[in-house]
């Protein structure tokens, strides 16, 4: 675990280093978990949460206040959950950090989500889609109307795929409007609306207004309810292209889920254009992956799926190397792409049996998630255990008819469970290797503009009573430090000299906040 010298380093620098470090390691989240004694910092890399550092009790409040402050949150409010955001840049990489706080019995738990747009901007090709899959998606995009659905569990990378498709469709001659919750990425040339259910601005309400704005393409963040599904279907059959996500496992489940919703079947049959189902698997490190013999059950699975004898596959090097984290580096998408043909349209309209629908969906032309995943194992991109974790083998193998399916399935299930146990055990190993850090300007966050979601004036009141000579205010009336104090004198937020506060300003929201609360803000 990383150790910080809290005696010598100011909290501001430590907070910056934690964020910079997490971004460099390609982490998706930073957790500040309070306990009675201290705060444990954990970071999530490629879907796996690991210990990173400990903040001693003495500095607990300072650190949490610091993070909340740069996220534009109200540092005086510790009893209610809050949201904030930090927009920043590291070299050429734009970053968007979403910060949330939650009061627990041991103090506030803060989570920083690191939204990395760079993947969405690299196009569909960079996501791990096969050429055949990209061809199918391009076919869906070309049709001027119809619904394209991207499906998968939370955290399966649906948004990245949706944004990549949107980028492909984003030309000067179309009007694209989105309704999202939350808007995860600002795209130039697209009108994006943030849904806010708490004020009655639901997906359905926004959609009705969008339809009056002459849209060509509508992106709906997620189809969660019958009404949204109905509007999506109606919008698409009246000549609009609709792109959305739905929380299901594969193409077949998606069709079943939609037909279970209160949507007219004949309209749905006409509207649906394509389904892209996806999961994520960790990518093998190209520097240290190891070739090993396949086990009996792995051989069996390859034989069933590809009718091929596979004797050797690549696997992760458990010890990892300087380029990776335990043998994996980054993640790759597994995809099942389905173009809706006339037979499937008829089947949806006529409500045919699931078994028959399955045959139509997996007619030999569709590459299933399992096939795509196993192909990626053969290509040395990911490991067999990653596919076991990601894909519902039992469900998917049903499509491969075998006499001894049942016996074989039992073996596969057993192995699957033992693999899962192994993985859980592995994730208990908490050490993260320190990367040799280069003091490279490119890698430092240099401009940080906060998105203030709570009232900025209140925060200014707090700071203006202190000695804040080096703070430059931006449009929001608030400023954030750069991570490099040497070369970026513009917009630099030096550690304010807040030694003694003569007069403690009144707490902005809660008037009864005890006075000593502010003294913690004594960096
Ligand atoms: Zn490696």
Give kind and range of the element (H or E) at residue 29. strand 27-34
Do residues 31 and 41 touch, judged by C-beta distance below 8 A?
yes
State the distance from the centre of ligand 1 to the C-alpha of 373, rounded, in angstroms. 21
State the distance from the centre of ligand 1 to the C-alpha of 381, rounded, in angstroms. 13
- If one counts every other C-beta atom within 10 angstroms of the C-beta of residue 294, the result is 18
361-377 CB burial, b ≥16 within 10 A, e <16: bbeeebbbbbbbbbbbb
Do residues 112 and 139 touch, judged by C-beta distance below 8 A?
no
Three-state secondary-structure class, residue 193:
strand
State the distance from the centre of ligand 1 to the C-alpha of 46, rounded, in angstroms. 14
**Is residue 328's pLDDT more than 90?**
yes
Parallel, antiparallel, or unpaired: how do β-strands 176-180 and 191-194 relate?
parallel
Residue 320, pLDDT score: 92
State the distance from the centre of ligand 1 to the C-alpha of 361, rounded, in angstroms. 38
> Where residue 84 falls among pLDDT bands split at 50, 70, 90?
very high
> Where residue 125 falls among pLDDT bands split at 50, 70, 90?
confident
State the distance from the centre of ligand 1 to the C-alpha of 319, rounded, in angstroms. 8
Three-state secondary-structure class, residue 281:
strand
**Is residue 357's pLDDT more than 50?**
yes
Residue 188, pLDDT score: 84
**Is residue 136's pLDDT more than 90?**
yes
State the distance from the centre of ligand 1 to the C-alpha of 196, rounded, in angstroms. 43
> Where residue 354 falls among pLDDT bands split at 50, 70, 90?
confident
State the distance from the centre of ligand 1 to the C-alpha of 429, rounded, in angstroms. 17
Residues with CB under 5 A from ligand 1 (ion): 285, 287-288, 321, 323-324
**Is residue 522's pLDDT more than 50?**
no
pLDDT in tens, 474-515: 444 343 433 443 443 333 333 333 344 444 444 444 333 333
**Is residue 297's pLDDT more than 90?**
yes
Tell me which of 446 and 322 has the higher pLDDT: 322
Sheet containing strand 176-180, strands side by side: 191-194, 176-180, 217-220, 241-246, 146-151, 272-284, 328-339
State the distance from the centre of ligand 1 to the C-alpha of 431, rounded, in angstroms. 16
> Rounded to two decimals, what is the model's pTM?
0.69
Instruction: Describe the chain by its helix, strand, coil percentages, rounded to 5.
Output: 35, 25, 40
| DSSP secondary structure, 316-331, as one string | --TT--TTSBTTEEEE
Tell me which of 242 and 411 has the higher pLDDT: 242
Residue 415, pLDDT score: 56
State the distance from the centre of ligand 1 to the C-alpha of 382, rounded, in angstroms. 13
Helix 405-428 and helix 296-306, axial crossing angle in degrees, nearest 10? 120
Do residues 446 and 453 touch, judged by C-beta distance below 8 A?
no
Nearest 10 degrees: CA dihedral of 365, 368, 373, 379?
0
> How far apart are alpha carbons 149 and 147 in whole angstroms?
6
Proportion of the chain above pLDDT 70, given as a percent: 74
**Is residue 389's pLDDT more than 50?**
yes
State the distance from the centre of ligand 1 to the C-alpha of 318, rounded, in angstroms. 9
User: What is the pLDDT of the chain when averaged over all its residues?
Assistant: 79
């Amino acid at each position: 675990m990383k150790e910080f010298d809290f005696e010598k380093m100011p909290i501001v620098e430590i907070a910056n280093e934690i964020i910079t470090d997490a971004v460099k390691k390609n982490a998706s989240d930073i957790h500040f978990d309070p306990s009675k004694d201290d705060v444990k910092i954990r970071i999530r890399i490629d879907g796996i949460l690991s210990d990173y550092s400990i903040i001693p009790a003495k500095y607990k409040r300072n650190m949490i206040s610091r993070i909340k402050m740069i996220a534009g949150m109200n540092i005086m409010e510790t009893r209610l959950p809050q949201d904030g955001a930090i927009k920043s840049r590291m070299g050429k990489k734009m970053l968007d950090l979403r910060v949330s706080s939650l009061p627990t019995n041991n103090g506030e738990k803060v989570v920083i989500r690191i939204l990395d747009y760079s993947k969405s901007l690299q196009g569909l090709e960079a996501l791990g889609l096969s050429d055949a899959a990209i061809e199918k998606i391009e076919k869906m995009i070309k049709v001027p109307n119809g619904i394209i659905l991207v499906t998968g569990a939370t955290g399966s990378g649906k948004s990245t795929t949706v944004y990549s498709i949107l980028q492909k469709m984003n030309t000067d001659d179309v009007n694209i409007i989105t309704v999202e919750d939350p808007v995860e990425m600002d795209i130039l040339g697209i009108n994006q609306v943030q849904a806010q259910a708490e004020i009655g601005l639901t997906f359905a309400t926004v959609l009705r207004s969008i339809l009056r704005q002459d849209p060509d393409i509508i992106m709906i963040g997620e189809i969660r309810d019958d009404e949204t599904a109905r509007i999506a279907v109606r919008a698409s059959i009246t000549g609009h292209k609709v792109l959305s996500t739905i929380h299901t496992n594969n193409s077949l489940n998606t069709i079943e889920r939609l037909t279970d919703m209160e949507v007219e079947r004949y309209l749905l049959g006409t509207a649906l254009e394509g389904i892209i189902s996806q999961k994520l698997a960790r990518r093998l490190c190209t520097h240290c992956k190891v070739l090993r013999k396949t086990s009996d059950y792995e051989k069996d699975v390859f034989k069933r799926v590809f009718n091929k004898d596979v004797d050797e596959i690549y696997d992760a090097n458990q010890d990892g190397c300087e380029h990776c984290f335990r043998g994996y580096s980054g993640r790759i998408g597994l995809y099942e792409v389905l173009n809706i043909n006339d037979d499937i349209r008829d089947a949806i309209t006529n409500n045919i049996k699931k078994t028959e629908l399955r045959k139509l969906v997996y007619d030999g032309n569709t590459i299933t998630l399992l096939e795509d995943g196993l192909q990626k194992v053969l290509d040395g991109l990911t490991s067999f255990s990653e596919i076991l974790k990601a894909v519902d083998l039992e469900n998917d193998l049903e499509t491969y008819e075998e006499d001894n399916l049942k016996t074989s399935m039992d073996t596969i299930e057993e192995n699957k469970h033992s693999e899962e146990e192994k993985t859980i055990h592995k994730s208990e190993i908490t050490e993260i290797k320190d990367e040799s850090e280069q003091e490279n300007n490119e890698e430092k966050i240099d401009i940080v503009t906060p998105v203030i979601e709570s009232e900025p004036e209140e925060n200014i009141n707090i700071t203006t009573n202190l000695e804040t000579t080096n703070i430059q205010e931006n449009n929001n009336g608030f400023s954030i430090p750069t991570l490099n104090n040497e070369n970026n004198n513009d917009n630099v937020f030096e550690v304010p000299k807040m030694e003694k506060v003569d007069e403690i300003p009144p707490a902005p929201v809660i008037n009864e906040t005890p006075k000593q609360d502010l003294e913690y803000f004594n960096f």
